[in-house]
């Protein structure tokens, strides 16, 4: 139910009253219905499911998520180093900080 | 591909998995609701990265698997009518009805076409005004905006030879059904990220409270899935049962308000029988009265549908997580991907098909698959 | 025939057949109309002395065979039928497929292709201009491959009973006396190489299929491989076997190698070359590049000792620039193909059941 792929909006037009656009998915371009992302502009990335854009991808949020992942890795490796272990050996005794409360 | 490849980094994946191992102290059973998430887990063998305490149970989040048998049979009957062009997503072509599947109808002369989008079906209707074009509108909430738009455009454009056979199913009632089924072992859920991109997350906190389960809205790429699992384990270990959004780049609390408005206009709630599971009240959407002229169920009065599920098939038990596929007596014997008895053995989306391939491996080597 | 054959692609009049823009039933009747089709469309394109004789069969002149003929050279013989929709796609057409497909089947046996036959089944109503285009593609592919189309046949079926156009090509080739290809079956320890990116052809065709259309700069990889095979065998005479992964893709080919046998395959998913745009197209439709057809690639099983040299030979050839070592034959999990994912886990790669269908799940 959920195969949706991120793509970049290259152009937007009105097609008989419906907002449509050309979306570029890593070099593959397809016509996509943009009716559900009225706020999206050329250059935005969206998630597209069966030919419809369902959501803008929030760049700031994406960067934040990736930063969290990267930090997690550093924390893990740092702790392992302190304890003189290879990264994937014994579980670290000191638990990771609890996940943050939902922001929205 | 931007916003895709970054979430596939294998080093980060290993570290996230190590993070899970670091905090887990006892066994936990987590259900991922979405077939797409299951597909990603199996395809990337992510479950093999998890510590043995974390068990992933594959839920009924595959519309292909849960589309009611009666609806499949209706689809087969309509597709076989002369003059119709029956359009469907590729996933549905091999799903077994009581007697045969859409592929079989095609072989017998029916005009059955695979489309990528409901708009392609609408376009076919415009191009073939002398034929009746029927679109099989299945899916969870994720697909509803697309299906709704196709119906709206048909009405607005006066495309009279277009109709939809609707069989939408909803996630929150599925979670309720799972939690209320006897013998349920699920302790946390990974909610379907793309369903939530449409519907938002407001429906889930009441479920967290009522059933005391953490629900983490999760994406589909390896890092997203591992993070969703990690956050679930953190909550479980900490005795919490809250909603968390681990897919904030796509999912907001309110979801897509434009899409929700169109859905509310085109569809209305109804009871639905989930194949293998049974009737779940208010768990589906059907076409609203206003759009009744586009309802294929009314346009094509196909009589005499007598459903006959294989008595051996235990797909429902699998979908609820009550048994694992290999615990079904027909698994690998009467029921294989080539000769599926139930929808869960069809192609890669179903849990049984996934287990079939992974399980054969486990039998011949020490590869552990759960 | 003397003189240059006319270039059919540049004819001012779109149809070389007087009075006919479309194929009619009479073109398959064996009479004057058939003769006209042969003389105006096929002969000029495939121009060679054997075909020009228009005998019931083509007899290959002795000088086409190598001097060592009779001293252990063996005949390879292959046939393939081609039905593809659409008939024309980025990077080729059913015509180039029909020639390269049979040439490659011969090449996988280590044979130098000598001659092809071409049988056409045309549907009444087929646009002659389209036929001319397909035939021109065949002629071009044959020229590039250094092979002659020496005999053929044409039939026409009633409108609605054909696929527009289908072609069956058969081919003969010569396997050198000293060829060691196929003298032993694959064994545990043998290395598996693939000659380049997978999934190109299938996705090129998908990109123009109705209902799935997308704009993508993906070209079919249809190409004749016997030149690359010759280079490979010269560098590594001990190649165990060669296969071209056409329908069903790499997954089918690897599966067939071990199905029902006492050996398995293990390969590293991350090392299989995939063009990034092909990968993106597969993402959109939910397809697995391992299951998508190729028409200009080969899989080689070689002994470990020869693997480096074999890989270098492939990479040195224009068609093998992205060749890669992807895995090996193993004694474990007999009959099964197992992929190691970039995450360290493993999964079984099943042989595809049938048609690859785009999914939403």
pLDDT-wise least confident of A69-78, B105-114, B181-190, B241-250: A69-78
Instruction: Tell if the CB–CB gap between A28 and C359 is shorter than 8 Å.
Output: no
**Ramachandran quadrant class, A60 (left: phi over 0; alpha: psi -120 to 50; beta: rest):** alpha
Q: What is the pLDDT of residue C16?
A: 76
| CA distances to B102, B134, B138, B298 from B72, in Å | 9, 13, 10, 16
Q: Which residues of C touch A3 (CB under 8 A)?
A: 286, 359-361
Percentage of chain B exceeding pLDDT 70: 96
Give the CA count within 13 Å in the CB-facing half-sphere of C286: 27
Q: Which residues of chain A neighbour B126 with C-beta distances below 8 Å?
A: none
- Report residue C163 as tokens: 């696929």
Cα–Cα–Cα angle for C137, C30, C149, nearest 5°?
30
- Closest residue in chain A to residue B191, using alpha carbons only: A2
Query: At A25, which helix (H) or strand (E)?
Result: strand A18-25
The beta-carbon neighbor of C360 closest among B46, B89, B365 is B89
- CATH annotation of B64-170+256-299: 3.40.50.11740
Res B367: pLDDT = 38
Q: Please tell me the least confidently modeled range out of B9-13, B96-100, C93-97.
A: B96-100
All residues of chain C having their beta carbon less than 8 Å from the beta carbon of residue B90 are: 286, 357-360
Shortest distance, CA A90 to any CA of chain B (angstroms): 8
Token couple for B334: 């009467």
- Which of B349, B360, B361 has the CB atom closest to C359's CB atom? B349
Q: Which residue has the higher pLDDT, C195 or C27?
A: C195
pLDDT for res C10:
45
Q: What is the pTM of this model?
A: 0.87
Measure A66 CA to nearest chain C CA, in Å. 18
Q: How many angstroms separate the CA of residue B248 from the nearest CA in chain C?
A: 21
The Cα C358–Cα C328 span in angstroms is: 30
Nearest chain A residue to B157 by CA: give it: A16
Q: State the Cα–Cα distance between residues B292 and B313, nearest whole angstrom.
A: 34
| Alpha carbon separation from B87 to B19, B135, B174, B350 (Å, rounded) | 45, 5, 27, 22
Among C345, C353, C361, the residue with its CB nearest the CB of B62 is C361
Question: Do B146 and A26 count as a contact with CB atoms less than 8 A apart?
Answer: no
pLDDT of residue C52: 84
Q: Helix, strand or coil for residue C166?
A: strand
Whole-number pLDDT of residue C18? 74
pLDDT at A99 over 80: no
Which residue pairs from C126-130 have beta carbons closer than 8 angstroms and sit at least 24 positions apart in sequence?
C126/C22, C126/C23, C126/C162, C126/C164, C126/C165, C127/C21, C127/C22, C127/C23, C128/C14, C128/C15, C128/C16, C128/C17, C128/C20, C128/C21, C128/C22, C128/C23, C128/C41, C129/C14, C129/C15, C129/C21, C130/C87, C130/C88, C130/C164, C130/C165
Is the pLDDT at B300 greater than 80? The verdict is yes
Closest Cβ–Cβ partner in C210, C212, C347 for B45: C347
B368, pLDDT greater than 50: no
| Contact residues, chain C to chain B, C-beta under 8 Å | 210-212, 276, 279-280, 283, 285-286, 332-334, 336, 338, 341-348, 350, 353, 357-361
Whether the CB-CB separation of C298 and C108 falls below 8 Å is answered with: yes
Return the pLDDT at B118. Answer: 95
Closest partner residue to A27 (CB to CB) among C216, C360, C361 is: C216
Q: Taking 60 as the threshold, does the pLDDT of residue A95 lie above it?
A: no
- Using a CB-CB distance cutoff of 8 angstroms, which residues of chain B are in contact with residue C361? 35-36, 39, 62-64, 91, 349
Q: What is the mean pLDDT of residues C221-229?
A: 97
Residue linked to tokens 């638990």: A95
Residue bearing the bigger pLDDT, C117 or B342: C117
Among partner residues C338, C345, C348, which is closest to B48 by beta-carbon distance? C345
* pLDDT score at B191: 96
CATH 3.30.1330.10 in chain C is located at 8-175
The alpha-carbon gap from B122 to the nearest alpha carbon of chain A, in Å, equals 13
Give the pLDDT score at C7: 47
Residues of B in contact with A51 (CB under 8 A): 116-120, 146
A86 touches chain B (CB under 8 A): no
Is the pLDDT at B366 greater than 50, yes or no?
no
For position B354, what pLDDT does the model report?
A: 77
Nearest-CB residue to B35 (from A1, A87, A99)? A1
pLDDT of res. A85: 46
pLDDT band at C15 (very low <50, low <70, confident <90, very high): low
Task: Give the whole-angstrom CA distance, residue B62 versus residue B275.
Answer: 11
B23 vs A contacts (CB less than 8 Å): 91, 95-96
Interface test with A, best of C207, C218, C284 (most A CBs within 10 A): C284
**With an 8 Å Cβ cutoff, are B140 and A2 in contact?**
yes
CA B214 vs CA A54, B186, B249: distances in Å: 26, 10, 20
Contact C336 B361 (CB under 8 A): yes
> In CATH, which superfamily holds the domain spanning C8-175?
PurM-like, N-terminal domain (3.30.1330.10)
Assign 3-class secondary structure to chain B: CCCCHHHHCHHHHHHHHHHHHHHCCCCEEEEECCHHHHHHHHHCCHHHHCCCCEEEEECCCCHHHHCCHHHHHHHHHHHCCCCEEEEECHHHHHCCCCCCCHHHHHHCCCEEEECCCHHHHHHHHHHCCCCEEEEEEEECCCCHHHHHHHHHHHHHCCCCCEEEEEEEECHHHHHHHHHHCCCCCCCEEEEEHHHHHHHCCCCCHHHHHHHCCCEEEECCCHHHHHHHHHHHHHHHHCCCCCEEECCCCCCCCCCCHHHHHHHHHHEEEEEEEECCCEEEEEEEEEECHHHHHHEHHHHCCCCCCCCCCCCCCCHHHHHCCCCCHHHCCCECCCECCCCCCCHHHCCCCCHHHHHHHHHHHHHHCCCCCC
Nearest-neighbour CA in chain A from B232: distance (Å): 9
- Asked if residue C72 has pLDDT above 90, the reply is no
Residues C226-242: tens digit of each pLDDT: 999 999 999 999 999 99
On the 0-12 / 13-18 / 19+ scale of CB atoms within 10 A, A97 is exposed
Structural class in CATH, domain C191-348: alpha beta
A88 and chain B: CB distance < 8 Å anywhere? yes
Q: In which band, very low, low, confident or very high, does the pLDDT at A102 lie, cut at 50, 70 and 90?
A: very low
pLDDT digits (tens, 9 = 90+) for B117-167: 999 999 999 999 999 999 999 999 999 999 999 999 999 999 999 999 999
Nearest-5° angle of CA C46, CA C166, CA C80?
80
Neighbours of chain A (3+ CB pairs under 8 A): B, C
Q: How confident is the model at residue B95 (pLDDT cuts 50, 70, 90)?
A: confident
pLDDT at C9 over 60: no
Lowest mean pLDDT across B226-240, B258-272, C199-213, C279-293: C199-213
CATH no. of B5-62+182-245: 3.40.50.11750
Does pLDDT of A101 surpass 50?
A: no
List pLDDT tens digits, range A47-75.
999 999 999 999 999 999 999 988 876 65
Whether residue A40 is predicted with pLDDT greater than 90 in this model: the reply is yes
| Element holding C36 (H helix, E strand) | helix C32-37
pLDDT digits (tens, 9 = 90+) for B276-298: 788 999 999 999 999 999 999 99
The span from the CA of B306 to the CA of B328, in Å, is 25
**Digit-coded pLDDT (tens) for B55-77:** 999 888 788 788 988 999 999 99
pLDDT at residue number B164 = 98
User: Sorting pLDDT into bands at 50, 70 and 90, what band is C280?
Assistant: very high
What is the mean predicted confidence (pLDDT) over B85-109?
90
Neighbours of chain B (3+ CB pairs under 8 A): A, C
- Cβ burial, residue B357 (10 Å; 0-12/13-18/19+): middle
Please tell me if residue C286 touches chain A, with a CB cutoff of 8 Å: yes
DSSP 8-state code for residue C215: B
Cα torsion through B105, B106, B108, B109, rounded to 10: 120
Asked if A69 has any chain B CB less than 8 Å from its own CB, the reply is yes
Beta pairing, strands B54-58 & B28-32: parallel
Contact C357, C292 (CB under 8 A): no
φ, ψ for residue C236 (rounded to 5)?
-140, 85
What's residue B361's pLDDT?
Answer: 53
- Pairs of residues, one from chain B and one from chain C, whose beta carbons lie less than 8 Å apart: 102
* Residue B116 to residue C358, Cβ atoms within 8 A: yes
Per-residue pLDDT tens for C118-172?
Answer: 999 999 999 999 999 999 999 999 999 999 999 999 999 998 888 899 999 999 9
Domain with CATH 3.40.50.11750 in chain B: 5-62+182-245
């Amino acid at each position: 139910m959920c195969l949706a792929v991120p793509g970049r909006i290259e152009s937007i037009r009105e097609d008989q009253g419906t907002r449509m656009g050309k979306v570029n998915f890593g070099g593959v371009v397809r016509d996509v219905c943009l009716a559900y992302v009225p706020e999206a502009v050329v250059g935005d990335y969206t998630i597209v499911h069966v030919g419809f854009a369902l959501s803008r991808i929030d760049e700031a949020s994406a960067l934040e998520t990736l930063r969290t992942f990267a930090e997690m890795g550093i924390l893990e490796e740092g702790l392992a180093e302190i304890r003189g272990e290879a990264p994937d050996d014994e579980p670290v005794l000191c638990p990771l900080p609890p996940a943050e409360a939902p922001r929205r | 591909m931007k916003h895709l490849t970054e979430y596939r980094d294998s080093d980060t994946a290993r570290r996230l998995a190590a993070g899970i191992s670091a905090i887990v102290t006892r066994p936990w059973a987590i259900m991922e609701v979405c077939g797409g998430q299951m597909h990603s887990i199996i395809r990337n063998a992510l479950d093999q990265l998890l510590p043995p305490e974390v068990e992933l149970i594959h839920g009924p989040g595959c519309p292909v698997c849960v589309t009611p048998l009666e609806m499949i049979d209706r689809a087969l009957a309509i597709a076989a009518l002369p003059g119709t062009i029956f359009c469907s997503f590729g996933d549905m072509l091999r799903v077994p009805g009581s007697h045969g599947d859409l592929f079989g109808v095609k072989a017998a002369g029916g005009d059955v076409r695979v489309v990528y989008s409901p708009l392609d079906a609408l376009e076919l209707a415009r191009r073939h005004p002398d034929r009746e074009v029927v679109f099989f509108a299945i899916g969870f909430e994720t697909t509803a905006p697309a299906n709704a738009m196709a119906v709206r455009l048909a009405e607005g454009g006066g495309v009279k030879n277009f109709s939809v056979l609707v069989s939408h199913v909803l996630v929150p009632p599925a979670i309720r059904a799972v939690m209320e089924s006897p013998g349920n072992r699920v302790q946390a859920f990974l909610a379907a990220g793309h369903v939530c991109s449409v519907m938002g997350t407001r429906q889930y906190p009441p479920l967290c409270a009522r059933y005391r389960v953490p629900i983490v809205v999760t994406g589909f790429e390896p890092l997203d899935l591992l993070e969703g699992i990690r956050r679930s384990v953190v909550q479980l270990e900490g005795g919490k049962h809250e909603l968390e959004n681990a897919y904030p780049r796509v999912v907001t609390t309110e979801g897509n308000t434009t899409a929700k408005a169109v859905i509310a206009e085109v569809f209305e709630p109804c009871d639905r029988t989930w194949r293998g599971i049974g009737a779940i009240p208010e768990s589906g959407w059907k076409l609203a009265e206003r759009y009744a002229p586009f309802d294929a169920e009314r346009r094509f009065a196909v009589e005499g549908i007598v459903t006959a599920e294989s008595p051996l098939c235990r797909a429902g038990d699998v979908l609820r997580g009550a048994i694992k596929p290999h615990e079904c007596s027909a698994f690998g014997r009467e029921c294989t991907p080539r000769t599926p008895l139930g929808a869960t053995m069809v192609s890669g989306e179903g849990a049984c098909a996934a287990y079939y391939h992974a399980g054969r491996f486990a039998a011949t080597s020490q590869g552990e698959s759960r | 025939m003397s003189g240059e054959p006319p270039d059919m692609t540049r004819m001012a009049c779109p149809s070389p057949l007087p009075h006919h823009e479309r194929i009619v039933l009479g073109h398959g009747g064996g009479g004057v109309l058939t003769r006209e089709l042969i003389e105006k469309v096929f002969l000029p394109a495939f121009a060679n002395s054997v075909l020009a004789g228009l005998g019931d069969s083509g007899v290959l002149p002795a000088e086409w065979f190598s001097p060592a003929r009779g001293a252990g050279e063996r005949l390879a013989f292959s046939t393939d039928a081609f039905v593809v929709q659409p008939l024309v796609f980025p990077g080729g057409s059913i015509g180039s497929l029909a020639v390269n497909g049979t040439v490659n089947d011969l090449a996988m046996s280590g044979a130098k292709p000598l001659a092809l036959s071409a049988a056409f089944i045309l549907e009444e109503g087929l646009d002659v201009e389209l036929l001319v285009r397909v035939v021109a593609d065949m002629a071009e592919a044959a020229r590039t491959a250094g092979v002659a189309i020496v005999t053929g046949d044409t039939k026409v079926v009633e409108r609605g009973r054909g696929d527009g156009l289908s072609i069956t090509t058969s081919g003969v080739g010569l396997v050198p006396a000293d060829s060691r290809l196929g003298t032993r079956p694959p064994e545990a320890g043998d290395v598996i190489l693939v000659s380049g990116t997978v999934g190109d052809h299938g996705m090129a065709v998908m990109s123009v299929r109705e209902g799935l259309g997308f704009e993508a700069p993906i070209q079919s990889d249809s190409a004749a491989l016997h030149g690359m095979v010759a280079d490979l065998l010269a560098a590594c005479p001990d190649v165990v076997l060669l296969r071209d992964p056409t329908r069903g893709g790499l997954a089918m080919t690897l599966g067939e190698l071990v199905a029902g046998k006492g050996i398995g395959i293990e390969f590293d998913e991350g090392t299989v070359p995939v063009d990034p745009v092909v990968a993106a197209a597969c993402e959109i439709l939910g397809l697995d590049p391992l299951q998508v057809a190729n028409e200009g690639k080969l899989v080689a099983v070689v002994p470990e000792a020869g693997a480096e040299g074999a890989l270098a030979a492939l990479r040195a050839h224009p068609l093998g620039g992205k060749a890669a070592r992807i895995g090996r034959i193993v004694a474990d999990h007999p009959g099964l193909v197992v992929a190691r994912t970039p995450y360290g886990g493993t999964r079984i790669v099943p042989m595809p059941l049938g048609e690859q269908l785009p999914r939403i799940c």
